[in-house]
A and B are shown apart, each in its own frame.
Chain A
Amino acid sequence: MSRLTRLLGGAFAVLVGLFLIAPVAVTVASSLTTTSYVTFPPQGITLRWYAEVFQKPEFLSSFALSALVALAAAAISAVVGLAGGLAIHRYRFPGRGALEAVLSSAFAVPTIVLGIGLLQWFAQMGLASSPFTLLLAHLVLTVPYAVRLVLAGLAGLDRAAEKAAAGLGAAPFMVFWHVTLPAVRGALIGGAFFAFITSFDDLTVALFVVTTDLQTLPVRIFNYMQYDYDPTVTAIGTLMVLFAVVAVVVIERFVGVAKLFGADQDHK
């Protein structure tokens, strides 16, 4: 490769990198502006908009709702994912093929279609909007990932280790606790964190499930944006990005982010 092509390649890669980080970088930078409108580059530096966030009770209650639902979604996804992954990997049971088929095709259904389907189904069932219905709706988005990660973890586990433990006299529960569980621990932690950010960031499904009294943080921001253009949103955005960064570091450490986007998905 000539020097020129290498230089051009590098310059191109830098441009793509700038393109990829532009919206986040600009959001974070403009959250510091002293102007009452959003501008980049920011004018002066202030933390006023961060203080503003904490003075808006509707944002705080939306944050609490989102965090609560996301925590529940993460915990339930991990448990259901572990049980489901073990069942599919180790057992034959009626409905196994169907479960596998649904798990691998769930990602192919557009999230917006799932949202409107859930809206109409919940209405038919007489289920009114509540944090509980929101949680139910988010589980459909998060459980397939949890199961997939557990299955990947189990595939890497040498069954001989479990047999050896059992052969040496360990009770089935001890084998599970000391041999099986450690093998899927990374998958469970990674899956739980991914479930958390998926639920926490979801807007598409939430828009159909929420009411005006029950707004998750993304829904609140989405509605706020239609009328206000002040830098408060950039401050919230920065805080949410920080949240996501923590989750990504954990996921990267335990499972690897790229693994999540295998044959899959959308929700975007």
Chain B
Amino acid sequence: MAAVGRLAGGQVSGGASRPRRRTGLLLALPAIAIFALLFLAPLFTLVANSFRTQTGAFTLDNYARFLGDPFYRDVLWNTLKVAGMTTIGCLLVGYPFALYMRGRSARVRNWLALLLLSPLLISMVIRAYGWLVVLGPNGPVAAVFEAFGLTAPQLLYNDTAVLIGMVHVMLAYMVLPLMGSLDRIDPTLVPAAKGLGAPGWTCFWRITLPLSAPGMLAGAMIVFSLTASSFVTPAILGGPKVKLMPYFVYTQATTTLDWPYAAAIGFVLVVVTTGLLLGYARLLRRGNGDVVFG
């Protein structure tokens, strides 16, 4: 699309004359200012601070401390574990759901997509609060257990609670790229295989599943990295007992007030997640992003 835009611009201007360049720059200036001053500068400050002591001298201590302390290694490991479990959870729930969606009419699919996206559109505090009620001692889940004469297991303030809350909000990121992949599978393949005598399960294992791998990969990458960097949902549902990196970025920055250390943890988080997200964007672009939601 960018290439088309450049072409169109070129056609009209017949080469970029100086006044046109100036108009372009002028129009883009507010956006450039916002990103230079409010995106690049803060990130640069963050990285610079992560290499400083509290008094401002250069140091690598903040990183050495993070990687050397078994407690923080555990935090990193737990972050990756929760992100991994959420990814698997989204795949297990999302794959059958995507298959179900594929068989529906365009209208129904639209509604289902909106349903999937609905958790992303409501306030994350309210969403997390809702889960506190659902999973809490006076909630419907506990009521169901009681109806069977059982005591409900502890569902809040542990990894399970975070997992439930994260799968809930991340499901759309898994299902929508998957739908894109499923839609691109030649619809004659499965009937052809069936005609040649392959049973339904074989068709699924040998045709549908492998051909939808790019969508699964794209979905897994974005779910993993967004979960690893989530703060609000895990903080509310998991509390301080569930040790995740974003939580420590927050407490180091606002409670302990060790800004350089908070910056270092934040930067490690960026390295872990941003690489994955940029890879995801590349995958989407290669597969033509528009098709994904078509």
Establish whether residues B28 and A23, one from each chain, have CB atoms under 8 Å apart when the complex forms: no
Establish whether residues B45 and A120, one from each chain, have CB atoms under 8 Å apart when the complex forms: yes
Task: Determine the distance from Cα of A263 to Cα of B40 in the docked complex, in whole angstroms.
Answer: 21
* Nearest-CB residue, chain A, relative to B104: A13
Consensus secondary structure, chain B interface = helix
Q: Which of B145-200 contact A (CB under 8 A)?
A: 168-169, 171-173, 176
Establish whether residues A268 and B226, one from each chain, have CB atoms under 8 Å apart when the complex forms: yes
- Binding-face segment, A51-59, A177-185, A196-204: A196-204
Q: Which of B231-262 contact A (CB under 8 A)?
A: 231-233, 236, 246, 249-250, 253-254, 259, 262
Using Cβ atoms and an 8 Å threshold, which residues of chain A touch B64? none
Establish whether residues B27 and A27, one from each chain, have CB atoms under 8 Å apart when the complex forms: no
Establish whether residues A258 and B293, one from each chain, have CB atoms under 8 Å apart when the complex forms: yes
Q: Which of B102-145 contact A (CB under 8 A)?
A: 103, 112-134, 136, 138-140, 143
Categorize the interface residue count of chain A.
35 or more
- Whether A214 sits at the interface, judged by CB under 8 Å, is no
Task: Determine the distance from Cα of A23 to Cα of B4 in the docked complex, in whole angstroms.
Answer: 44
Consensus secondary structure, chain A interface = helix
Task: Determine the distance from Cα of A112 to Cα of B40 in the docked complex, in whole angstroms.
Answer: 15
Establish whether residues B12 and A90, one from each chain, have CB atoms under 8 Å apart when the complex forms: yes
- Whether B76 sits at the interface, judged by CB under 8 Å, is no
- Whether A19 sits at the interface, judged by CB under 8 Å, is yes
Per-residue CB contact flags for chain A residues 222-243 toward chain B (1 = under 8 Å, else 0) read: 1001000000011011001100
Contact among B6, B21, B126, B229 for A110, CB-based, below 8 A: B229
Using Cβ atoms and an 8 Å threshold, which residues of chain B touch A253? none
Q: Given A92-B24, A110-B246, A262-B293, does the pair A19, B43 have CB atoms closer than 8 Å?
A: no
Establish whether residues B126 and A221, one from each chain, have CB atoms under 8 Å apart when the complex forms: yes
Using Cβ atoms and an 8 Å threshold, which residues of chain B touch A234? 129, 133
Contact among B9, B20, B30, B253 for A119, CB-based, below 8 A: B253
Contact among B229, B250, B281 for A266, CB-based, below 8 A: B229
Contact among A87, A112, A241, A259 for B27, CB-based, below 8 A: A87
Using Cβ atoms and an 8 Å threshold, which residues of chain B touch A264? 281
Establish whether residues A107 and B277, one from each chain, have CB atoms under 8 Å apart when the complex forms: yes
- Whether B34 sits at the interface, judged by CB under 8 Å, is yes
Using Cβ atoms and an 8 Å threshold, which residues of chain B touch A241? 122-123, 126
- Whether B216 sits at the interface, judged by CB under 8 Å, is no
Establish whether residues A94 and B226, one from each chain, have CB atoms under 8 Å apart when the complex forms: no
Using Cβ atoms and an 8 Å threshold, which residues of chain A touch B131? 22-23
CB-defined A-B contacts under 8 Å, sample of 25: A12-B96, A20-B115, A24-B122, A26-B134, A87-B25, A92-B16, A93-B25, A94-B21, A99-B31, A102-B40, A103-B35, A108-B281, A110-B246, A110-B269, A113-B249, A114-B39, A117-B43, A117-B46, A120-B45, A143-B34, A208-B254, A234-B133, A237-B123, A237-B125, A262-B289
Closest 5 CB pairs of A and B: A91-B24, A23-B130, A110-B229, A117-B42, A84-B31
B interface residues (Cβ-Cβ under 8 A, vs A): 1-2, 4-6, 8-13, 16, 20-25, 27-32, 34-35, 38-43, 45-46, 49, 93, 96-97, 99-100, 103, 112-134, 136, 138-140, 143, 168-169, 171-173, 176, 222, 226, 229-233, 236, 246, 249-250, 253-254, 259, 262-263, 266-267, 269-270, 273-274, 277-278, 280-281, 284-285, 289-290, 292-293
Beyond the given A237-B123, A237-B130, please list 20 additional residue pairs across the A-B interface where CB-CB is below 8 A. A12-B96, A21-B115, A23-B129, A24-B130, A37-B138, A91-B20, A92-B9, A92-B21, A112-B229, A113-B249, A116-B249, A116-B266, A120-B49, A120-B263, A137-B38, A197-B121, A248-B114, A258-B117, A263-B281, A263-B289
